[in-house]
């Protein structure tokens, strides 16, 4: 809905930056974070973080509570001063530049809409502080309110608005100064599910149209997955993995990322053999699952010595569940009993206890229209997945 409005009211923005700028070794990062650290007394909130973010990106920092993501965002905004390291935005070192002089605006988790001002006054605040001429303020405010579809509520006070409307006020207020970077602290956390999905798409469209670099902080992995061009998974003040959502989801770097970012079945295994692949720098390995002795094939990124312990991970949606034993090469097959079943309409989640006694989670699309589930509690079922779905985790 928002994007339609933009195309009507705005001239085409600067040519859109290719979405994969980070792959280009020549490209110049727009935000450079170098060796950034922040300590509170004895507690290290952010521990030597370095990161490049490119112009027009929607970069998400994902982590649980207390992982340091908010501190990192607050350092970007200028509310916290780092103990070490550097933040460079568009070639300007941010050290010593106070929050009110940075070309950055932030949308707060609580939205922090000023309760004693109307919607229009809230949105105009940033321009007033910039000493923009009155007629221009009026024009830009009404333009911005149009953009976030609040024109008819301009004279309302925040306490007369719904949560979603207040979120739009906060967004409009942060965008009106045309910042180089927009920081969003848990932008969707306070909204209910339906509104969240809608707002999510609106945010993405807005970001795409305006070409402003967004840095989002969230604890919600689904939000991170759908919003971002790239994301970083953060734990204990450090980045565990940085990459596109598909990279991080399909090739998690270690057990923590695999488990935190989505759901995954993890199997302890021992390497039997490891051979380099001819055409790429990867290695074909054969491994034995410790519990069942099942042989599996997988692809590893590094050379692993035989007998070394690894973990094989399989995402629930990669596993097929069936009554009959499936046929095919390269398949890993397990037999079990449906112990638990959750029906979501579009898909079902099965928890199957395999013969070895462990529970494997399977997510299956409900292809057929039927009021009778093909598999019920206590049914015998075969689980199978292709060897290419095996993720090799060494940490």
* Among the listed residues 248, 215, 212, the one whose alpha carbon sits nearest the alpha carbon of residue 233: 248
| Dihedral sign for Cα atoms in the order 144, 146, 147, 150 | positive
Question: What gap in Å lies between CA 6 and CA 304, rounded to an integer?
Answer: 53
* The dihedral formed by the CA atoms of 80, 83, 86 and 90, expressed in degrees to the nearest 10: 10
Check if the beta carbon of residue 211 is closer than 8 Å to that of residue 17. yes
DSSP run (H or E) holding 142: helix 134-147
C-beta of 182: minimal distance to another protein in Å? 11
What DSSP assignment string belongs to 294-333? -EEEEEESS---TT-EEEEEE-GGG-EEESSPP--TTEEE
Nearer to another protein, 40 or 343 (CB): 40
Build a one-symbol-per-residue string for 33-72: x at contacts with another protein by CB under 8 A, - elsewhere.
----------------------------------------
Chosen residue from 106, 217, 271, 360 binding another protein by CB under 8 A: 106
**Residue 109 within binding range of another protein, rule CB under 8 A:** yes
**Residue 100 within binding range of another protein, rule CB under 8 A:** yes
**Residue 177 within binding range of another protein, rule CB under 8 A:** yes
Task: List residues bridging with 230 in a β-sheet.
Answer: 59
C-beta of 158: minimal distance to another protein in Å? 6
Question: What gap in Å lies between CA 252 and CA 267, rounded to an integer?
Answer: 15
Report 301-330 residues binding another protein (CB under 8 A): none
**Residue 110 within binding range of another protein, rule CB under 8 A:** yes
Chosen residue from 46, 62, 113, 225 binding another protein by CB under 8 A: 113
Nearer to another protein, 158 or 243 (CB): 158
**Residue 76 within binding range of another protein, rule CB under 8 A:** no
**Residue 125 within binding range of another protein, rule CB under 8 A:** yes
Report 340-369 residues binding another protein (CB under 8 A): none
The answer for residues whose C-beta is within 8 angstroms of residue 2's C-beta and 6 or more apart is 147, 148, 149, 202, 205, 206
**Residue 217 within binding range of another protein, rule CB under 8 A:** no
Binding site for another protein (CB under 8 A): 77-79, 98-101, 104-106, 108-110, 112-116, 125-126, 129-130, 158-159, 170, 173-174, 177
């Amino acid at each position: 809905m928002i994007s339609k409005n933009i195309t009507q009211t705005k001239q085409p923005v600067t040519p859109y930056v290719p979405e994969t700028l980070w792959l280009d070794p020549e490209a110049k990062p727009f935000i450079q974070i170098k060796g950034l650290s922040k300590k509170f007394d004895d507690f290290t909130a952010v521990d030597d973080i370095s990161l490049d973010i490119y112009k027009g990106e929607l970069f998400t920092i994902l982590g649980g509570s207390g992982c340091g993501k908010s501190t990192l965002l607050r350092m970007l905004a200028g509310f916290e001063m780092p103990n070490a390291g550097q933040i460079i935005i568009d070639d300007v070192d941010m050290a010593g530049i106070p929050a009110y002089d940075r070309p950055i605006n932030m949308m707060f988790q609580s939205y922090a809409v000023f309760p004693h001002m109307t919607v229009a006054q809230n949105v105009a605040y940033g321009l007033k502080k910039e000493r923009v001429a009155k007629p221009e303020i009026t024009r830009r405010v009404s333009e911005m309110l149009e953009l976030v579809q609040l024109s008819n509520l301009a004279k309302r006070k925040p306490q007369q608005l719904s949560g979603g409307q207040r979120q739009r006020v906060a967004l409009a207020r942060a965008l009106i100064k045309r910042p180089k970077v927009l920081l969003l602290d848990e932008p969707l956390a306070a909204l209910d599910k339906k509104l969240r999905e809608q707002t999510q798409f609106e945010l993405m469209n807005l970001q795409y149209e305006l070409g402003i670099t967004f840095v989002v902080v969230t604890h919600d992995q689904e939000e991170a997955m759908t919003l971002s061009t790239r994301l970083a998974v953060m734990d204990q003040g450090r980045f565990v993995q940085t990459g596109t959502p598909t990279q991080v989801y399909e090739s998690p770097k270690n057990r923590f990322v695999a488990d935190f970012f989505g759901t995954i079945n993890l199997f302890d295994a021992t390497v039997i053999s490891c051979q380099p692949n001819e055409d790429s720098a990867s290695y074909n390995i054969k491994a034995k699952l410790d519990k069942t002795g099942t042989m599996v094939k997988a692809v590893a990124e590094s050379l692993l010595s035989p007998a070394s312990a690894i973990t094989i991970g399989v995402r629930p949606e990669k596993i097929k569940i069936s009554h009959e034993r499936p046929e095919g090469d390269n398949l890993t097959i397990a037999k079990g009993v449906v112990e638990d079943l959750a029906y979501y309409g579009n898909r079902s989640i099965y928890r199957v206890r395999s013969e070895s006694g462990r529970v494997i989670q399977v997510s299956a699309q409900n292809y057929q229209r039927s009021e009778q589930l093909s598999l019920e509690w206590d049914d015998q079922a075969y689980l199978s997945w292709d060897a290419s779905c095996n993720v090799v985790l060494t940490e």
